[in-house]
Amino acid sequence: MSLPFLVGLSLVLHLYVGTQLVPALDLPPAGWMLALLLAASSLLAPAGLTARRWLRPPASDRLTWLGMLCLGLFSSLFVLTLVREFVLLAGWMAGADGARLATWSARAVAGLALLAAALGVFNARRTAPVKRVRVRIAGLPAALQGFRIVQISDIHVGPTIKKGYVQAIVDRVNALDPDLVAVTGDLVDGSVPELAAHVAPLARLRGREGVFLVTGNHEYYAGVHQWTAEFARLGLHVLHNTHVVLRRGDAQLVLAGVPDFGGHHFDRLHRSDPAAALAGAPVDAPKVLLAHQPRTAPAAEKAGFDLQVSGHTHGGQFFPWPLFVRLQQPYTYGLHQLGRLQVYVSRGTGYWGPPMRLFAPSEIAELTLVG
């Protein structure tokens, strides 16, 4: 979308919120402050979304930070303003004092939006906590009981996520001393020359059986061939419609990976193919698939996998987006069953766009396999 279109859309939406809230605030300083904030936000939000098109770092990063903070706050203001419309309608139908209700509801919207934005930024910027999940796999060999896969996903290294943020994630993962580290895509939002130094801490990820990665849709936006080469240089094993056989005593575990569900739109050789990823694999061994998007699940179930590990959805990240995720993906977050296949969907370890998470906390998933 072009900058003029984004600015026009932003102005219309900000004007709507302003006309609903500013006149209702009976405290003049509060009304003027909100009006000025909305005026600035109406320009900064679209500018932040497009900053990298016409500015270079670090100026583009600073503008993106400002714009994304404004966009996060405005999203809360907009949703709460819509909710306020229903509150005013209900009050009118109940015969409440309309002027008094309008004033107090406008104050509540402004206060709650600020609180939501503050909590959202805190939740997004903290290092993701560990979420422990037990995954039962029928017939799991005794030697693989308790095998731990630690998953990170959707970090989105870019304008607002840099080296320090990534290093804190790496430290937390390594402290878990996992059997295997799975990285399920969307690590980056930018080119290799721009972000290589900030992705570098991933080279220190450690798992007894290795660190394995599959591409997400954002790798394709940022130059997938350059990034897969860089990930390999860092020591991450990129699975591209391929598998490895991991051995623990006399037991085997098949770990496979596929490119992003839409990878073939960028390169016809990057079509996600779970069946091809299993070619030549031991038939009776438990089979785990790394796939960025949950909607790979039907093909994974048909191919005979026991577990699919995915990300992409961010759990919706903040309201109202969880409501829309299901329009594209079969699952939003957590552990699900599809026939014989179990699908685990991470809420993501970073964030995208506004540095904001509400009711969809980031996570480092520790998946423990049990029989």
CATH number at residue 164: 3.60.21.10
**Predicted confidence pLDDT, tens digits, the chain (371 residues):** 677 888 899 999 999 999 999 999 876 788 889 999 999 999 999 999 998 888 888 999 999 999 999 999 999 999 999 999 999 999 888 888 888 999 999 999 999 999 999 999 999 999 999 999 999 999 999 999 999 999 999 999 999 999 999 999 999 999 999 999 999 999 999 999 999 999 999 999 999 999 999 999 999 999 999 999 999 999 999 999 999 999 998 999 999 999 999 999 999 999 999 999 999 999 999 999 999 999 999 999 999 999 999 999 999 999 888 888 989 999 999 999 999 999 999 999 999 999 999 999 999 999 999 98
Same domain, 195 and 313: yes
Residues 310 and 196 in one domain: yes
Q: Residue 143's pLDDT is what?
A: 95
142 in the same domain as 37: no
**Same-domain status, 169 and 309:** yes
Helices marked H in the chain — which ranges? 3-21, 28-54, 59-94, 98-125, 163-175, 192-199, 217-222, 224-233, 274-277, 297-303, 322-325
Range(s) of the domain holding residue 50: 3-125
Looking at 125, 145, 173, the residue that finishes a domain is 125
Instruction: Give the 3-state secondary structure of residue 190.
Output: coil
Q: Which residue type, as a one-letter code, is found at position 53?
A: R
Closest CA to 199 of 189, 207, 209: 189
- Tell whether 103 and 135 lie within a shared domain: no
As a 3-state breakdown, the chain gives helix, strand, coil percent values, each rounded to 5, of 50, 15, 35
Same domain for 210 and 158: yes
CB atoms within 10 A of CB 12: 10
Residues 223 and 262 in one domain: yes
Number of domains, the chain: 2
Q: Are residues 281 and 252 in the same domain?
A: yes
Please tell me the distance from the alpha carbon of residue 290 to that of residue 313, in angstroms, as a whole number.
15
What b/e sequence results for 242-265 when a residue is b if at least 16 CB atoms lie within 10 Å of its CB, and e otherwise? bbeebebeebbbbbbbbbbbbbee
Same domain, 83 and 189: no
**Within this chain, do residues 233 and 167 fall inside the same structural domain, yes or no?**
yes
- Whether 255 and 215 map to the same domain: the answer is yes
Answer yes or no: do 101 and 139 share one domain. Answer: no
* Among 105, 125, 145, residue at a domain's last position: 125
Return the pLDDT at 29: 85
Q: How far is CA 28 from the centre of its chain?
A: 39
- Residue 314 CB contacts under 8 Å (≥ 6 apart), including other chains: 154, 321, 347, 348, 351, 352, 360
Position 261: which residue type? F
- Tell me how long the chain is: 371
Q: Which of 83, 101, 125 is the last residue of a domain?
A: 125
DSSP state of 369: E
CA distance 203 to 194: 17
User: What's residue 147's pLDDT?
Assistant: 98
